[in-house]
A = this chain, B = another copy of it.
Amino acid sequence: MRSNGRGESQLRPMNLTVNVNKYAEGSVFIEMGDTKVLCTATVDEKVPPFLKGQGKGWVTAEYSMLPRATQSRNQRESARGKLTGRTMEIQRLIGRALRSVVDLRALGERTITLDCDVIQADGGTRTTSITGSFVALAIAVSKIAEQHRLPAFPITDFLASVSVGIVNGEPMLDLNYEEDSTAKVDMNIVMTGGGAFVELQGTGEESPFTRQELNQLLELGERGILQLIEKQKEALGPIALMIGSGQSGREV
């Protein structure tokens, strides 16, 4: 039996609070159980040098944990003078995942930066960051669409992410920290609203896993992601209708 009496294929209680930041073009506070992440989207009317003059936009992400987001205090990366490998890996993953559902050409020569700051961590901070920052991104894009005549709404599909793993021999959905640290297999899945995989990162450091175990995990993950996307739709309201619509979004 999992803590809080959760079933093996059950997500933790989830909350999405939108527009929590006074300045950002898009913002969301996402809670998955005790994991809490603030996601803000910043729009910049220019692109990085490698994209200049190509008529395409860019979406990128940064990720950080507050020092006391965790059980014991972590040294700040600003004080260490450099990012850890874990942080770099996570922010590359978030950016790559989000770009997979953005039509960069429709976005035009703009950069959207998603900042995912973990206020409190209890497992699944990277997947929660992806699920939350998708919503912040959609809000920011809807503001761009209102103000500029875009050829089409640049977000082509929904996108959410969840972790799955094998804990005490059982496949489980949405691991908290305690479950994650005893899991023999740990997998992060990013999927679109259309049910296709965008990222699949499975690790069996403690013990390798079979094709059959992989299939069980993928099914659990798929089920969880569909529920997350329902929550995203509720939180986004009318903006949700524009996603994947091909419309310009001016009328939102």
Q: Do residues A81 and B82 form an inter-chain contact, with CB atoms below 8 A? A: yes
Main secondary structure of the interface of A (DSSP, over half): mixed
Instruction: Write out, one digit per residue, whether chain A residues 116-127 have a CB within 8 A of any chain B CB (1) or not (0).
Output: 010110100000
In whole angstroms, how far apart are the Cα atoms of A205 and B95 in the complex? Answer: 10
Smallest CB separation, A202 vs chain B (Å): 4
Do A24 and B204 form a contact, CB below 8 Å, given A82-B78, A92-B89, A210-B196?
A: no
**Please, how many angstroms separate the alpha-carbon atoms of A83 and B100 in the complex?**
26
Q: Which residue on chain B has the smallest CB distance to residue A25?
A: B68
B residues less than 8 Å from A120 (CB atoms): 21-23
Nearest CB of B to A103, in Å:
12
Is A64's beta carbon under 8 Å from chain B? yes
Rank and list the top 8 A-B pairs by shortest CB-CB distance, nearest first: A85-B88, A196-B208, A77-B78, A40-B68, A200-B202, A78-B78, A42-B73, A24-B68
